[in-house]
Amino acid sequence: MNTNLKISNITKIYPGCVANNDVSLEFNSGKIYALLGENGAGKSTLVKILSGVVIPDEGKIYLNKNILKLNSPSDAKKNDIGMVFQHFNLFETLSVFENLIIDSDEQRENLKEKIDTIMKKYNFSVDLDVPVLNLSAGQKQKVEIIRCLIRSPKVLIMDEPTSVLTEQETSELFLSLKKFSEEGILIIYITHKLKEVMQLCDEVAVMRRGKLVSVSQINNENIESLANKMVGQDLKTIKKKKENTSSEQLIKITNLNFTSEDPFETNLVDINFSLNRGECLGIAGISGNGQSELFQVLSGEIISNKNSIEFNKNLIGDLNPQERREYLMAFSPEDRLEQAAIPQMAIFENVALNNFKSSNFFNNGLINESKIKEHSKKIISEFNVNTDNIDLKSQFLSGGNLQKLIIGRELITSPDLLICFNPTWGLDVGAINYIHETLIKINEQNKSIILISTDTDELLKLSDKISVIHRGKLSKIMNAEDVTSEKLGILMGGGN
């Protein structure tokens, strides 16, 4: 049976923001549809409307020509619309089976049978009796998918499903989605990742600032054309100018070791490298191979042997991050909201937090608010942070804006070395481009970067030298021109 889902003239306005502006779309079963857009383009609002979580101000939804009234999530369920949210809607402390039975009207035994059939059919294997908090992200997603499949949905909506998955899990997911589609389930796939759209989908709708900008067949598109539609301007292809960098050594790491007491952390073994002024050292690797420990050791969150780190001819291995900043090092940690910024504090307060000594932010223990605010405004305008309200709590900034603020905060003190860890993780194309441009600019000012990243494309684009970390050991340092992504792939897997 064919399913036809039509949305017409949907508008949803939030105070100060038009999330969806007169959006009309039509979907038919048998195809996989991509809904593409940057963060904040209105994709999520649209799917929340389709799943009954949000009620639109205007517009109508039709399923097989019948008008649909979706006033609550249960209305969507009743009308066979299934939805897998980006942030899982699971109950962590309940078992998998309890999570599944909670919104099902079936008897325990019937439901168990049904789940077994689904798991066999799609080759899922999830232990039903363990609490959800013990599952990996990929398994949690499978639970969500099973929960939808139990109701034999006509429509399945996936909201940014790969943001938490490994590559292996992603390809498994794609196989399942193709299978569902062949069986006649209409699939709407929301993402900002262009590669995935090209790999998986048949048709693509692009949204920008709440408006629908284009609907097209995937065959008529390529990554560049989609990226341009998504951002709304032609993206400059960034290329790093290879200049002859200075030979003045800035930082030298000698026999750096770190042994952790936590069994879930990786030990670092005999790390040795050096970096000259104006260079960018990229450190590649599959996540969990010691990157976060390396970042912590370099930034001083973990203190090591005094002699192991020589920076600007000073031995600083035993200094904490605050003291290392005095020597003009700067840091941009991986987790923006947990490590880099305090979500509940205002932008200007976050700006003050990494500048205790080398600034005039504090007089005799009192906060000099006007100084900090002035300084914050400078960062916001210089680094293109898209807000003019420095009293805004930092949790309300989008990922891209927050990252710009963090990098800006670090760079405004003009450090000699910036150490950053996955600086563009989870950002949209526009923001990624901006961060990349900024990092290249730093190198051009004869300042150095250590870039720890799991994104190989990014590393190849920005680095002068590249090394790979695998199980806490660093490979030899290679010149970026001699490296290909295949070679990196082999090294990341532990090969030679």
Partner 1 sequence: MIVDINFVGLIIASIMASAVPLILASCGELITERSGVLNLGVEGMMIIGAISGFALMTVTGSLIIAVFGAMLAGVLISTIFAFLTQTLITNHVATGLALTIFGIGISAMIGKNFVGIPGKEFPVLFEGLKDTIPLLSPILFGHSIVFYFAFALPFITSYFLKKTKIGLIVRAVGDSPESASNQGINVRFVRYACILYGGAMCGLAGAYLSMIYTPQWIENMTGGRGWIALALVVFSTWNPIKILIGAMIFGGLTIIQFHMQAIGVRIPVQFLTALPYIVTIIVLVVISRDSRKIRLSTPSSLGKSFHKDN
Distance from C-alpha of 451 to C-alpha of 459, rounded to nearest angstrom? 8
Among 5, 36, 54, 201, binds partner 1 (CB under 8 A): 54
Residue 423 has which token pair? Answer: 């600086």
Residue 214 touches partner 1, criterion: CB under 8 A: no
Site size toward partner 1 (CB under 8 A) is 22
Residue 344 touches partner 1, criterion: CB under 8 A: no
Closer residue to partner 1 in complex, CB, 86/276: 86
| Shortest distance (Å) from residue 247 CB to partner 1 | 54
Residue 35 has which token pair? Answer: 């809904």
Closer residue to partner 1 in complex, CB, 73/232: 73
8 A C-beta contact, residue 123 and residue 59? no
8 A C-beta contact, residue 19 and residue 177? no
In 3D, which of 172, 180, 135 has the Cα closest to residue 153?
Answer: 180
What is the residue-wise DSSP string for 13-25? EETTEEEEEEEEE
| Shortest distance (Å) from residue 102 CB to partner 1 | 6
Closer residue to partner 1 in complex, CB, 93/259: 93
Closer residue to partner 1 in complex, CB, 56/210: 56
Backbone angles phi, psi at 205, to 5 degrees: -110, 130
Among 55, 175, 367, 490, binds partner 1 (CB under 8 A): 55
Residue 53 touches partner 1, criterion: CB under 8 A: yes
Residue 301 touches partner 1, criterion: CB under 8 A: no
8 A C-beta contact, residue 34 and residue 55? no
Distance from C-alpha of 475 to C-alpha of 436, rounded to nearest angstrom? 24
Closer residue to partner 1 in complex, CB, 85/180: 85
| Shortest distance (Å) from residue 144 CB to partner 1 | 10
Residue 223 touches partner 1, criterion: CB under 8 A: no
| Shortest distance (Å) from residue 73 CB to partner 1 | 4
Residue 58 touches partner 1, criterion: CB under 8 A: no
Q: Choose the stretch contacting partner 1; rule: CB under 8 A; options: 47-55, 164-172, 195-203, 407-415.
A: 47-55
Residue 303 touches partner 1, criterion: CB under 8 A: no
Question: What is the enclosing helix (H) or strand (E) of 284?
Answer: strand 280-284
| Shortest distance (Å) from residue 162 CB to partner 1 | 20
| Shortest distance (Å) from residue 55 CB to partner 1 | 6
Q: At what angle do helices 399-411 and 429-444 cross, to 10 degrees?
A: 10
Inter-CA distances, 98 with 31, 109, 135, 137, Å? 32, 13, 14, 18
Closer residue to partner 1 in complex, CB, 98/318: 98
Residue 142 touches partner 1, criterion: CB under 8 A: no
Question: What is the enclosing helix (H) or strand (E) of 349?
Answer: helix 347-353
Residue 490 touches partner 1, criterion: CB under 8 A: no
Inter-CA distances, 122 with 23, 31, 125, 491, Å? 34, 19, 9, 33
Residue 178 has which token pair? Answer: 């193709």
| Shortest distance (Å) from residue 402 CB to partner 1 | 21
Closer residue to partner 1 in complex, CB, 95/257: 95
Distance from C-alpha of 100 to C-alpha of 118, rounded to nearest angstrom? 13
Closer residue to partner 1 in complex, CB, 90/231: 90
Strands 81-84 and 211-217: unpaired
| Shortest distance (Å) from residue 427 CB to partner 1 | 24
| Segments in 212-333 forming alpha helices (H) | 223-231, 291-299, 321-326
Sheet with 211-217, strands from edge to edge, namely 81-84, 155-159, 186-191, 32-37, 203-208, 211-217
Binding mask 85-104 for partner 1 (x = CB under 8 A): x--xxxxxxx---x--xxx-
Closer residue to partner 1 in complex, CB, 80/98: 98
Among 73, 232, 343, 399, binds partner 1 (CB under 8 A): 73
Distance from C-alpha of 136 to C-alpha of 165, rounded to nearest angstrom? 9
Q: Choose the stretch contacting partner 1; rule: CB under 8 A; options: 67-75, 121-129, 245-253, 473-481.
A: 67-75
User: In sequence order, which residues have a C-beta less than 8 Å from that of residue 114 and are 6 or more positions away?
Assistant: 106, 150
Strand runs (DSSP E) across 218-267, as ranges?
A: 249-258
Residue 127 touches partner 1, criterion: CB under 8 A: no
Contact positions vs partner 1 (CB under 8 A): 51, 53-55, 72-74, 77, 85, 88-94, 98, 101-103, 131, 133
